[in-house]
Amino acid sequence: MDELRTLLFRQIAAVWRRRWIAIGAAWLVCVLGWIGVHRMPNQYEASARLYVNADAVLTPLLRGLAVDTSPDNQIEMLQRTLLSRPNLETLISKTDLSLNVRTPTDRELLVDSLAKQIEVTPQTQNLFVIKYRNKNPQLAYDVVNTILQIFIESTTGANQSDIQNAQRFLQGQIASYERQLRQAERRRAEFKAKYVDLLPMDNGGTHLEAARDEVATLSGQLQDAQARVKALRQELDATPPLLTEAAAAGMGPGSAALAEAELKLRQMRMQFTDKFPGVIAQEQVVQSLRSAPAPTAQQPSATSDGRALPNPAYEELKLRVVDAETTVASLQRQVGAAQREQHRLEEMARAAPGVEAQYQNLDRDYTVLRKNYEELLARRESTRIAEAADTKADKVKLQIVDPPQVPRVPVAPKRPLLIAGVLVFGLGAGIGFAFLLAQIDTSFSTIDQLRDFGLPVLGGVSAIRRAATRRRILGTLGFGIAILLLVAVCGGLLTHALQTSKPV
């Protein structure tokens, strides 16, 4: 520990012996440093704060109706592409920066330096600051102001080229799908006209199935009509065509009731079947009225008992039989026509199998083409709405919170700090230079150093003179004055720098 202290004191003493060299080096470094600080050009900074946000009403209103341009993503993209090469070249052409461009190499270097010097710093998600420094305050303002203009122009027209490209693409696709759709419609119409009887109808069935159903229905109706004719003929055979006048008179008032009951029964049979309860009840009434002896079915001859009269019930039954037979004939004709149509459709189906499958393939292709065509039309309308929203409305709101101003006070260099730093560095450089000289000095300053060298030392002689003491005191005082003068010069420079850095 004592050796370390001894070594430290020895080094301090060596530096102190060279204090004038140290103060001279410090003065030289400080003067050169202060001259360099003074000659450093001032840097002026222009800045602006911009607030960008999506429209709170228009954006939700257009969601799902127009093309979703996602204003938040659009803002992020603009921030990322604001310092792109085309924008920087536009900036150079619109400001005085172009005066320094003489060769393509100068332009390249200027573009690279602008990309590094212009700062776009987001403070929040929607608020960010644009800064630029230059030794010309007006040029710094012009650069920031032009950047703002480029940003606003990019925001209002960023999607125009994309929308126009999308519209051109959609127009081409719509025209192509329209041609394909027309061809598919023509093939579908031709196929449908050729095999219309074998293709499904609107209700989902086919003409062949409808023809079979019609044959079955008409056959059932024909059987019912034939059974009705048979029943009417049986009734007609059981009814006498003529009635004698005596038999009609002998029936008395009951004959009128019988005729009325039979008339009512006939009317009911024209509306209902024989198994209808009302018809069965009316038949029982007629049977009870006929309990008296009735004339035979054979035609009576004109005798002395009376003259023969036509039976009205018989005539009516004949008319009903004729109508029923006409109905049977009509149904037979309809059944025949339906069966022939069924046979024709079955023959066509056997001759052209897979018609329905072919039509389904055609219909499937047509459906896909039509769906894509309609979707493309909808997308085209969406792009038109999006274009109108971009050109006629402000989907992205821009608000310049702090507009750029022409800077009056330089922001760099920090001359007071640099001046103080030069003083500290100069003093350190002087001490370091003196220490370096002490390290390369081969002379002996003390008897101990000589003894450490290994030589026998008998003793030392010291001379103390009044003049040497006075000279040492004066030297120390001069050294202090030199240091104070250096500090005073530094203080003056600091005062001047602080005064010039205040705004006018």
31 plus 48 within the same structural domain: no
Nearest to 159 by CA among 71, 63, 64, 58: 71
Tokens matching residue 401 = 């919170």
Range of the domain at 132: 44-162+395-402
Report the distance separating Cα 468 and Cα 394, nearest Å: 89
For every residue of 347-374, DSSP letters joined together read HHHHHSTTHHHHHHHHHHHHHHHHHHHH
Q: Could you tell me which residues come within 8 angstroms of residue 339 by beta carbon, excluding any fewer than 6 positions away?
A: 215
Report the distance separating Cα 402 and Cα 49, nearest Å: 5
Report the distance separating Cα 322 and Cα 233, nearest Å: 10
Domain count, the chain: 3
Q: Report the percentage of the chain scoring pLDDT > 70.
A: 69
Instruction: Give the confidence band of 485 by pLDDT, cuts at 50, 70, 90.
Output: very high
pLDDT of residue 32: 95
pLDDT, mean over the chain: 77
Residue 21 lies in a domain: yes
32-50: average pLDDT? 91
DSSP-H helix ranges across 272-354:
277-289, 312-351
pLDDT at 410 over 50: yes
Kindly compute the dihedral angle of the four CA atoms of residues 51, 56, 60, 61, in this order, to the nearest 10 degrees: -120
Instruction: Give the confidence band of 344 by pLDDT, cuts at 50, 70, 90.
Output: confident
255 plus 312 within the same structural domain: yes
Q: Which residue has the higher pLDDT, 451 or 76?
A: 451
For every residue of 197-249, DSSP letters joined together read TTSB-TTS-BHHHHHHHHHHHHHHHHHHHHHHHHHHHHHHHHS-SEEEHHHHH
105 plus 213 within the same structural domain: no
217-221 contacts, C-beta under 8 A, 24 or more apart: 218/331, 218/334, 218/335, 218/338, 219/335, 221/331
Q: At what angle do helices 19-39 and 466-500 cross, to 10 degrees?
A: 10
pLDDT at 138 over 80: yes
151-165: average pLDDT? 65
What sign for the dihedral angle of Cα 140, 146, 149, 155? Answer: negative
Instruction: Give the confidence band of 417 by pLDDT, cuts at 50, 70, 90.
Output: very high
pLDDT of residue 1: 66
Tokens matching residue 31 = 């003067």
226 plus 140 within the same structural domain: no
Contact 313, 232 (CB under 8 A): no
77 plus 27 within the same structural domain: no
pLDDT of residue 464: 54
pLDDT at 142 over 90: yes
Bridge partners, 206 (sequence order) = 200
pLDDT at 64 over 70: no
144 plus 214 within the same structural domain: no
Tokens matching residue 425 = 């560095």
Residue 179 lies in a domain: no
Q: What is the pLDDT of residues 91-115, one digit of tens each?
A: 888 888 888 788 888 889 998 888 8
pLDDT of residue 240: 77
Contact 132, 144 (CB under 8 A): yes
Looking at 153-157, 215-219, 240-244, 498-502, which range is the least confident one? 153-157
Residue 61 lies in a domain: yes
Q: What is the pLDDT of residues 311-337, one digit of tens each?
A: 667 777 777 888 888 888 998 999 999
Q: What is the pLDDT of residues 262-319, one digit of tens each?
A: 777 777 777 777 777 677 777 877 776 676 444 444 444 444 444 556 666 777 777 7
Instruction: Give the confidence band of 422 by pLDDT, cuts at 50, 70, 90.
Output: very high
pLDDT of residue 426: 93
262 plus 342 within the same structural domain: yes
Looking at 402, 435, 466, the residue that finishes a domain is 402
37-65: average pLDDT? 71
Place of tokens 């070249």: 89
Q: Could you tell me which residues come within 8 angstroms of residue 325 by beta carbon, excluding any fewer than 6 positions away?
A: 229
Residue 388 lies in a domain: no
pLDDT at 69 over 60: no
Residue 359 lies in a domain: no
Contact 140, 46 (CB under 8 A): yes
Looking at 334, 351, 368, the residue that finishes a domain is 351
Instruction: Give the confidence band of 437 by pLDDT, cuts at 50, 70, 90.
Output: confident
Q: Which residue has the higher pLDDT, 351 or 280?
A: 280
11 plus 121 within the same structural domain: no
Nearest to 335 by CA among 230, 197, 214: 214
Q: Which residue has the higher pLDDT, 382 or 497?
A: 497
158 plus 244 within the same structural domain: no
pLDDT at 76 over 60: no
pLDDT at 465 over 70: no
216 plus 340 within the same structural domain: yes
Residue 18 lies in a domain: yes
Tokens matching residue 18 = 């060279």
Nearest to 149 by CA among 93, 72, 91, 110: 91
212 plus 317 within the same structural domain: yes
Residue 221 lies in a domain: yes
Q: What is the pLDDT of residues 210-255, one digit of tens each?
A: 888 888 998 988 898 888 888 888 877 877 777 655 444 444 444 5
Residue 183 lies in a domain: no
Phi and psi of 275, rounded to 5°?
-90, 0
213 plus 346 within the same structural domain: yes
